[in-house]
DNA sequence: AGCACA
């Protein structure tokens, strides 16, 4: 088999005509447009393939009709002026193939699944919650799987359809994740987004590496949260208290009024908040926040502990697990509230709404779940607001307030997309349901028991400007919204689960100095749009 | 300056 020059006409002269022309000696980084420019006069270009060859200075151009290709070749064969691009002579000849097989690098063919590559970060620097937050702005995110490969830290993000995926891609490709959503040590994290070949990811567990937001019954990965729900008992050996679904929060340096709405908003980022009871103790304000599940509480604690609600070290949160498991809330007032009970005048939670519309019409304001914190809408910031009851927060209240953080809260050091993208990329209608705690149904536990904390305290009047927070990451509660969804298992590409557990929410950096406007600018300012890659089909 | 799935 060594006869190299077997039967193939290898060299030029004998090339039989083809609709496909082979161009060589192209100038460096020759664009598809340039190619088309010189070929167009001879006919319709149906396809191209650029940057071919070791030097990437060759290309193929396919005409719609053979005669067109022939006309071009013969024209230049007898022309005194050689074909040239940027003054450089381009040699052309018939290709030895009859058509261009465009391997669309499989990154350009639209898919509902995006392949996201993070530049400048290590695995784990970008929490899955941050990803969820960011991508949810464009539509309901079904699943996310992160993994590490040679390309670095990557993620697959599954949307309902390729349209939403495309919108996310075009909006985010080449952009960077706001710094404040990333750990301190991370400089910038640029996103490179392409379409994945996957259509449906199979997520086996809800873990720190993968999530299926459509399957409420998916087990939580043993690796993410072990049976006891313990995050590795921190090397710092801090919390020894048994975990609980109820958190005890004490607020230090309470320079500003902290209302129940504020607390509700903050804590809702980690799961459905069933009840809140605030009371005075030791000359300080404390509150008990009840989740339906332990994992939400754990996530909230991990993420929020030690963080301040307001800029400047004000209203610093100290969290611990309460021994309570179910608070007794006798009345809904400024100090205590039971969000599981629909009440007149109050906005009841309606998780069902969430589950029913992946990317459907906007959820009525009254139904916006606290989860909205997690599933931010570019157009609807979640802010603690005066209407607060029921923790229904929907619209952003932009007015920057003196020394208060003007950045939206967050669920996770996460600022809502609003601030990130500012402009309504996705239509507001795309209210996204977010995952919330197991048994997350608000109405699920109307039972009251347990020693009620003592309530006392002055009626807190809402002080106009809703405070913005910066907060911890919306930790994931391990469960998902009540979506009917194909349970599945994840396998395939992403698989490497390395890294420390429990680092997810807590790894988010809080940057209190990041005003919303900055964020806006950041993502909006043209960040050098990626050059129109040229390997796609072109027409005329 | 010489033919393309990484």
A104 phi, psi to nearest 5 deg:
-50, 30
Q: Is A482 exposed, middle or buried (0-12, 13-18, 19+ CB in 10 A)?
A: buried
Find the residue closest to B2 using CA and C1' atoms.
A11
Contact of A9 with A42, CB cutoff 8 Å: no
- A1-10, A77-86, A152-161, A181-190: least confident range: A1-10
Helix axis angle, A260-268 to A294-304, nearest 10°: 100
Distance of CA A422 to the CA centre of its chain: 15
Query: For tokens 């890294």, what's the residue?
Result: A499
Give the list of residues 6+ apart from residue A444 with CB closer than 8 angstroms, or none: A292, A340
Statement: residue A530 has pLDDT above 50: no
Residue A260: name the closest of A225, A286, A240, A235 by CA.
Answer: A286
Q: pLDDT digits over A35-78, tens only?
A: 999 999 999 999 999 989 988 999 999 999 999 999 999 999 99
**Other Cβ atoms closer than 10 A to A422:** 18
Q: What is the pLDDT of residue A459?
A: 33
Q: What is the pLDDT of residue A289?
A: 95
Q: Does residue A18 or residue A255 have the better pLDDT?
A: A18
Statement: residue A202 has pLDDT above 80: yes
Maximum C-alpha span of chain A: 97
| Distance of alpha carbon A467 from alpha carbon A447, whole angstroms | 32
Chain B positions with any atom < 7 A from a protein CB = 1-6
Statement: residue A216 has pLDDT above 80: yes
Segment A367-381 mean pLDDT: 31
Tokens of A348: 């009841």
- A6-20, A107-121, A152-166, A516-530: least confident range: A516-530
Mean pLDDT of chain A: 67
Query: For tokens 């796609």, what's the residue?
Result: A536
Segment A141-147 mean pLDDT: 96
Q: Tell me the sheet residues that pair with A144.
A: A157, A211
Q: Using the structure, give the distance in angstroms from the CA atom of A305 to the C1' atom of B1, rounded to a whole number.
A: 65
Q: What is the pLDDT of residue A450?
A: 34
Segment A422-428 mean pLDDT: 30
Q: Using the structure, give the distance in angstroms from the CA atom of A532 to the C1' atom of B5, rounded to a whole number.
A: 21
| Distance of alpha carbon A441 from alpha carbon A306, whole angstroms | 29
Q: What is the pLDDT of residue A151?
A: 82
| DSSP 8-state class, residue A380 | B
| Distance of alpha carbon A211 from alpha carbon A128, whole angstroms | 8
Find the residue closest to B6 using CA and C1' atoms.
A105
Q: What is the pLDDT of residue A452?
A: 32
Q: What is the pLDDT of residue A312?
A: 80
Segment A242-259 mean pLDDT: 90
Q: pLDDT digits over A293-350, tens only?
A: 999 999 998 888 888 888 788 888 999 999 889 999 889 999 999 999 876 554 444 4
Q: Using the structure, give the distance in angstroms from the CA atom of A26 to the C1' atom of B6, rounded to a whole number.
A: 21
Using C1' positions and the CA of A96, the closest nucleotide is B3
Statement: residue A470 has pLDDT above 70: no
**Alpha-carbon Rg of chain A, whole angstroms?**
28
Statement: residue A386 has pLDDT above 70: no
Q: What is the pLDDT of residue A34?
A: 94
- A77-86, A176-185, A310-319, A527-536: least confident range: A527-536
Statement: residue A435 has pLDDT above 70: no
Q: What is the pLDDT of residue A418?
A: 31
- Measured distance between the N- and C-terminal CA atoms of chain A, rounded to whole angstroms: 43
Q: What does each C-alpha distance from A264 to A290, A402, A468 come to in angstroms?
A: 10, 22, 13
Statement: residue A164 has pLDDT above 80: yes
pLDDT band (50, 70, 90) for residue A13: low
Q: What is the pLDDT of residue A107?
A: 75
Residue A435: name the closest of A87, A140, A121 by CA.
Answer: A140
What whole-number percentage of chain A has pLDDT above 90?
Answer: 40
Using C1' positions and the CA of A103, the closest nucleotide is B5
Distance of CA A85 to the CA centre of its chain: 42
| Distance of alpha carbon A65 from alpha carbon A14, whole angstroms | 20
Statement: residue A503 has pLDDT above 70: no
Q: What is the pLDDT of residue A104?
A: 66
Q: pLDDT digits over A74-116, tens only?
A: 999 999 999 999 999 999 999 999 999 877 666 778 899 999 9
Give the list of residues 6+ apart from residue A521 with CB closer than 8 angstroms, or none: none
Q: Using the structure, give the distance in angstroms from the CA atom of A52 to the C1' atom of B1, rounded to a whole number.
A: 13
Q: What is the pLDDT of residue A150?
A: 80
Q: Does residue A418 or residue A134 have the better pLDDT?
A: A134
Segment A395-407 mean pLDDT: 35
What whole-number percentage of chain A has pLDDT above 70?
Answer: 57
Cα within 13 Å of Cα(A491), Cβ side? 3
Q: pLDDT digits over A260-281, tens only?
A: 998 998 889 889 999 999 998 8
Q: What is the pLDDT of residue A63?
A: 96
Tokens of A465: 């400007």
Find the residue closest to B1 using CA and C1' atoms.
A25
Tokens of A10: 């290898």
Residue A349: name the closest of A275, A295, A289 by CA.
Answer: A275
Tokens of A525: 């300012």
| Distance of alpha carbon A126 from alpha carbon A140, whole angstroms | 19
Hey, which of A155-159, A253-257, A402-406, A447-451 has the most confident mean pLDDT?
A155-159
| Strand B contact set, beta carbon < 7 A | A 11-12, 15, 20, 22, 24-25, 49, 52-55, 58, 60, 91, 93-97, 99-103, 105-107
Q: What does each C-alpha distance from A451 to A324, A455, A540 come to in angstroms?
A: 8, 12, 76
């Amino acid at each position: 088999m060594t006869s190299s020059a077997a039967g193939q006409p290898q060299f030029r002269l004998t090339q039989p005509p083809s609709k496909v022309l082979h161009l060589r000696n192209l100038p460096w980084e020759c664009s598809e447009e340039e190619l088309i420019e010189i070929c167009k006069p001879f006919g319709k270009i149906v396809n191209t393939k650029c940057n071919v060859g070791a030097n990437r200075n060759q290309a193929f151009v396919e005409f719609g009709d053979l005669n067109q290709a022939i006309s071009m070749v013969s024209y230049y064969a007898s022309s005194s002026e050689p074909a040239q691009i940027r003054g450089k002579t381009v040699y052309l000849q018939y290709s030895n193939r009859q058509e261009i097989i465009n391997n669309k690098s499989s990154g350009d063919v639209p898919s509902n699944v995006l392949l996201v590559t993070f530049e400048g970060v290590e695995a784990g620097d970008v929490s899955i919650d941050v990803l969820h937050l960011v991508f949810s702005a464009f539509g309901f995110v079904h699943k996310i799987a992160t993994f590490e490969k040679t390309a670095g830290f990557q993620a697959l993000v599954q949307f309902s359809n390729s349209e939403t995926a495309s919108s996310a891609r075009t909006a985010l490709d080449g952009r960077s994740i706001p710094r404040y959503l990333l750990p301190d040590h991370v400089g910038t994290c640029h996103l490179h987004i392409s379409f994945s070949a996957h259509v449906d990811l199979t997520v086996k567990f809800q873990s720190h590496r993968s999530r299926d937001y459509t399957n409420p019954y998916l087990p939580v990965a043993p690796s993410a949260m072990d049976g006891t729900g313990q995050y590795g008992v921190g090397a710092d050996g801090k919390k020894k208290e048994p975990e609980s679904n109820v958190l005890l929060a004490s607020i230090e340096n309470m320079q500003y009024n902290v209302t129940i709405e504020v607390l509700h908003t903050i804590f809702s980022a980690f799961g459905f908040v069933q009840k809140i009871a605030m009371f005075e103790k030791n000359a300080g304000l404390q509150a008990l926040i009840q989740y339906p599940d332990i994992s939400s509480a754990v996530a909230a604690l991990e993420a929020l502990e030690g963080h301040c609600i307001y800029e400047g070290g004000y209203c610093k949160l100290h969290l611990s697990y309460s021994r309570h498991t179910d608070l007794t809330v006798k009345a809904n007032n400024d100090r205590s509230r039971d969000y599981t009970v629909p009440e007149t005048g109050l906005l009841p939670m309606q998780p069902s709404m969430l589950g029913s519309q992946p990317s459907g019409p906007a959820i009525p304001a009254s139904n916006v779940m606290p989860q909205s914190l997690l599933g931010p809408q570019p157009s609807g910031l979640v802010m603690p607001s005066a209407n607060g009851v029921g923790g229904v927060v929907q619209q952003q209240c932009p007015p920057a307030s003196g020394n208060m953080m003007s950045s939206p809260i967050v669920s996770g050091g996460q600022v809502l997309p609003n601030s990130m993208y500012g402009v309504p990329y996705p239509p507001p209608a795309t209210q996204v349901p977010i995952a919330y705690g197991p048994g997350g149904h608000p109405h699920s536990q109307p039972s009251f028991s347990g020693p009620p904390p003592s309530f006392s305290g002055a009626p807190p009047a809402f002080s106009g400007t809703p405070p913005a927070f910066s907060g911890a990451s919306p930790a994931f509660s391990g469960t998902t919204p009540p979506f009917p969804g194909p349970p599945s298992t994840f396998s395939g590409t992403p698989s490497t689960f390395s890294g420390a557990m429990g680092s997810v929410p807590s790894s988010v950096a809080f940057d209190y100095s990041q005003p919303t406007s900055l964020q806006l600018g950041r993502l909006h300012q043209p960040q050098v749009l990626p050059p129109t890659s040229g390997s796609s089909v072109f027409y005329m």
